[in-house]
Amino acid sequence: MDYLNYLCEDFLENTSFQSYVKGQKKEDVVFWESWIKSHPEKHSEVNLARDILLGLSSQKQLKKSISKEEELKKLLNSITAEEVTDRFDPGKGQVMFNFVRIAAIAILLIGFGVGLRFLVFNKKQGTPTDLAYKVLSTPRGKRMKITLPDSTKIWLNSESTLRYSNDFDDIDRKVYLTGEAYFDVIENKSKPFYVYASEIRVKVLGTAFNVKSYPEDNYVETTLERGKIHIERLDEKHKKDPIIALDPNQKVILYKSGFEPVENHVSSRKKDKIEKITTKQVVISNNVRTDLYTSWRNEKLIFRSEPLGSLKSRMERWYNIPIVVKDTGLYKKKFTGTFVNEPIQQALKAFCVASELNFKIQNDTVYLMPETKN
């Protein structure tokens, strides 16, 4: 069966995918783990469907004080997405795209007879309860700007998901991120703002920062533009590690459990200033150019001496097109440049001229290869 055209709602209805998520049949788990690894372009849809199923399967009882129709109406009326950008077809209709997707998933869940309890977490332990969560998701090639009930603004990058409770800002302010987002948080000293991303939690009062936490990456990256944030690890192995405090123009990389680099307690200096501190699990960089990590929200893709491997992943998400590198030797190259609203063909031409590469686009796939010498 061809799953490449599947959307979140299709995965939700697939019994084999449901079995994989619940760990019921070994053959389903083996198949889907292999398929997901081979199709990174579907991670956004898969992650959203998996999160919904995990949340729903853990509910013991659903509140019935509001009818399903009334709850659907309440959910759809509360969607706060302001803007979505499509790299291939910018303009009208993008907000409606996300609106319809959320509505379709909501209607599908009603069809399952489980109501609109999208994602459910215990406030203290991260375990499921009957508290409903809103879910906003961006596929590859699109970005979204969100305004939360407390007026905090969030820019959601391609292939990312943001979740927050229906009672956000009533008691506390917590959001759950998969992917990448830029946060401009409204200060409220009585209600700190928390971002949960993979194995970390970021505590904020009022500040602006970027968090990158894609499931396929072996690290979580946080860059602080202004203000101050505290970062703590939540995984069992590192939960007793010291809290990391970031100041403006600092970036921290925290490696996920099992993916620590080999370096240990290394520091580098420049002009008598410590530029980077590396331990086995953490890399903290000082005096970074924050625009390298935050300019995507302004439709700029900036890269400076970036290895082809990481740049390839960024461009695939940015332009919603797979990139195949025909010569593995190209992965040794590093690239510098800036793309501002360029279509994929124009960006690749500039990219290749500066780097002695050739490219071709065939069957909606980009192929990169060394430049042919005459």
**pLDDT beyond 80 at 255:** yes
Q: Which residue is listed with tokens 């969560």?
A: 133
Mean pLDDT of the chain: 76
Burial 222-261, CB ≥16 within 10 A → b, else e: bbbbebbbebbbeeeebeeeeebebebebbbbbbbeeebb
Q: What is the mean pLDDT of residues 296-301?
A: 92
CA distance 287 to 94: 37
Instruction: Quickly state the pLDDT bin for 195 (edges 50, 70, 90).
Output: very high
Q: What is the pLDDT of residue 181?
A: 97
CB atoms within 10 A of CB 163: 21
Q: What is the mean pLDDT of residues 152-169?
A: 91
CA distance 302 to 337: 6
Q: What is the pLDDT of residue 86?
A: 46
Give the pLDDT confidence of 1-59 residue by residue, as tens digits.
778 888 777 888 888 988 887 777 888 888 888 888 788 778 777 877 776 776 554 44
Q: Which two tokens stand for residue 373?
A: 């010498």
Give the pLDDT confidence of 105-149 residue by residue, as tens digits.
555 554 554 433 344 334 344 433 434 778 888 988 899 999 999
**pLDDT beyond 50 at 189:** yes
**CA distances (Å), origin 81, targets 74, 134, 361:** 15, 11, 33
Q: Are 115 and 62 in contact (CB under 8 A)?
A: yes
- What lies within 8 Å, CB to CB, of 7 at 6+ separation is 45, 101
Q: Where are the domains of the chain?
A: 1-60, 299-370
Q: What is the pLDDT of residue 92?
A: 37
Instruction: Quickly state the pLDDT bin for 258 (edges 50, 70, 90).
Output: low
**pLDDT beyond 60 at 71:** no
**pLDDT beyond 80 at 83:** no
Position with higher pLDDT, 72 vs 123: 72
**Would you say domain 299-370 falls under CATH 3.40.190.10?**
no
Angle between helices 43-57 and 94-111 (to 10 degrees): 30
**pLDDT beyond 50 at 63:** no
Global confidence as pTM = 0.66
Q: What is the pLDDT of residue 366?
A: 92
- What lies within 8 Å, CB to CB, of 370 at 6+ separation is 326, 327, 329, 330, 356, 357, 358
